[in-house]
Structure 1
Amino acid sequence: MSLEERAKATAKNVEGKAQEALGNVTGDPEDKIEGKTKQGESQVRHATEDMKDNVKEKLD
Structure 2
Amino acid sequence: MGTDDKLHNKAEDLAGRGKEAAGAITGDDSLKAEGEADQKKAGIKDKIEDVKDKVQEKVDKAL
Give the TM-score normalised by the residue count of structure 2.
0.91
Q: Which structure is larger by alpha-carbon Rg, 1 or 2? A: 2
Identical-residue share of aligned pairs (%): 35
RMSD, matched Cα: 0.6
Count of equivalent residues: 60
1:1-49 residue CA offsets vs partner (Å, 9 max, x unmatched):
2110111000000000000000010000001100000001100110011
Q: Which runs of 5+ in 2 are unaligned?
A: none
Moved over 4 A (4+): none
Q: Which runs of 5+ in 1 are unaligned?
A: none
Query: What is residue 24 of structure 2 aligned with on the other side?
Result: 24
